[in-house]
Structure 1
């Protein structure tokens, strides 16, 4: 999937912390996660179906886990003996149910089978989604004990993965923790997402002084948005906490933002004159589930010693800076 920008390369780090295998390392969240792990001193072994540019300090392993079968990954784990495997692979914005089932359900089943037959036992960090929960009424915050009744196929396929990981942890087949992420924003936000598509429309109409027409579905919802760098720091934190084993931990900003405010903020930061056109099914896709979402992150503070640090402005500024820079445009203005 095309993105609207790329994250910066990480600074050099020592290798005293051990190795980490990152599945989906060339994807949006995977690239940020690998960068944060490297800054924390880990050696990164990037695994993905298709080669893409990665930092020279990373070791890249081309592997389609679903097609190759469990023993291919088990062999890699036994050969490299990583301290952790982070599953950042999966489908978020695909309109194809088959793709979501393949990458959110079947891939996790293959991963668990691989770790079960491997001699080496690393910690597994499974990246889930808060869309695995049932939509809650306005004012009711999502917690780790909220009902798990997802309203979308994406949420249902991610919930399958989470439950499979938790069952394996309960039977001691894996040492695993599930981090349920809210709506992730930052450099490299995919074009299929709402803010990614708004940024793409602003960049696709670059004529100076001309008002861009940004077509979106009606902006009626409020969401919890979290910065990719905060997500990555939560992954780093989860590797060193034995008490996290077998648990689900929400990773979010702990606040909610009207989606319209986020879109307006992006347009303002871009410096480009734009007119919003809200039509059902127009332009960017609406976010799924109910009209309001906020996520409690007290468990992440207590269990991981983690808390979100970036603001909505930080998220949107990083998104726009990377998007404009990726296409050779100015970071602000027309």
Structure 2
């Protein structure tokens, strides 16, 4: 099974790459920078935002399947980054190149922000309505709709993975888990809101593994990549404070609440568990302990 993986050096991509290699796939990774991942795979330097690059890489690799992760994801910027429009266009160019080269299956990656989040209950792939909130998720959903129509007409298998709230090794320092970890390990106050919002947090390594399983499967349509369990931000912060032995540094309520914040965003994971046969390997407690360990090494090495 020859797989073309885009965005292979990114936060999620490197873990999908590692999982595909472990599973024995012939992986061809394309990215601007060489992925920091050991193992037996081919790396192709490329920027899919450059016109014609998708066709060049596709012609060179001739993959059986594509797992497309590349997109603009700079922390704090990607929500309304105009580059979302460029990535929509680049993804459509990649899809056409895939059709020309005879690809049999294409897996794209979206976001839980595509959903019109229910006040109670779970975000279900087929029963929960969709709604645009930012340019990022609006672009993602528009891309999904276009790809679904295109691949159906072309007779190419298509799946769309919606990711929820990821944390873990190498995440941006400004994200929730990493910022709390860095504050605790630097023996500085970890400033938080009251943390009442409930989210579906997943270790990025489990997410990468799930995406690899999805790429090698025949599961079609939208599918949530998540744990199906809700944890409040306050619970995350409190657990991390206790794990680090510094609960006194957790300052809940020291930051203002975000406006228009959804109270609950948790995934329905029936398709993931029953159709894909996947379950996260790590509990939230284990994942947070390992995140603290990662940042302990990073802070000491800084």
CA distance in 1, matches of 2:158, 2:122: 25
Alignment of 1:181 with 2:163, yes or no, is: yes
The alpha carbon displacement at 1:300 in A equals 1.8
Aligned residue number for residue 9 of structure 1: none
TM-aligned CA distance change 1:322 to 1:102, over 3 Å: farther
| Match among 92, 108, 131 for residue 109 of structure 1 | 92
Q: Please say which of residues 122-131 and 86-95 is displaced more in the overlay.
A: 86-95
For residues 99 and 263 of structure 1, do their structure 2 counterparts lie closer, same or farther at Cα, with a shift above 3 Å needed? Answer: farther
CA distance in 2, matches of 1:287, 1:313: 29
TM-superposed CA distance for 1:292, in Å, is 0.9
Structure 1 pair 129/58, CA: closer, same or farther in 2 (3 Å)?
Answer: same
The RMSD of aligned alpha carbons is 2.6
After superposition, what is the alpha-carbon deviation per residue over 1:184-212, rounded to whole angstroms, capped at 9, x for unaligned? 12222222321122223334x3xxxxx52
1:120 aligns with 2:96: no
Aligned-partner Cα distance in 1 for 2:53–2:104: 16
Alignment partner of 1:251 out of 225, 238, 243: 225
Q: Give runs of ≥4 in structure 1 deviating > 6 Å.
A: none
C-alpha distance 173-202 of structure 1, shift in aligned 2 (>3 A): farther
Structure 1 pair 40/201, CA: closer, same or farther in 2 (3 Å)?
Answer: same
* 8 Å Cα contact 1:241/1:304 also seen in 2: yes
- After TM superposition, the score normalised by the length of structure 2 is 0.87
Could you tell me which runs of 5 or more consecutive residues in structure 2 were left unpaired when the two chains were aligned.
none
- Residues 1:288 and 1:83: Cα distance change in structure 2 (over 3 Å): farther
The 2-side partners of 1:152 and 1:201 are apart by: 29
1:50 offset after TM fit, Å? 3.2
- Partner of residue 146, structure 2: 164
CA offset digits 1:251-298 (Å, max 9, x no partner): 11011011111112222223345242634469xxx6985111221111
Corresponding residue number in structure 2 for 1:154? 136
| Mapped pair 1:38 → 2:10 | no
Match of 1:48 among 31, 34, 58: 31
Please say if residues 90 and 103 of structure 1, whose CA atoms lie closer than 8 Å, have aligned partners that are also in contact.
no
| TM-score scaled by length of structure 1 | 0.80
1:8 corresponding residue in structure 2: none
Counterparts of 2:209 and 2:200 in 1: how far apart (Å)? 17
Gaps of 5+ in 1: 1-17, 206-210, 330-334
The answer to whether residue 77 in structure 2 is matched with residue 85 in structure 1 is no
- Alpha-carbon distance in 2 for matches of 1:236, 1:185: 18
Q: Distance in 2 between matches of 1:250 and 1:141?
A: 11
Aligned twin of 2:242: 268
Aligned to 1:62: 45
CA distance in 2: counterparts of 1:167 and 1:35, whole angstroms: 31
**Helix, strand or coil: the match of 1:57?**
coil
Change (3 A) 1:324 1:106: farther
- 1:309 is paired with a residue whose SS is coil
- Aligned pair count? 298
Shift of 1:134: 0.6
Shift of 1:135: 1.8
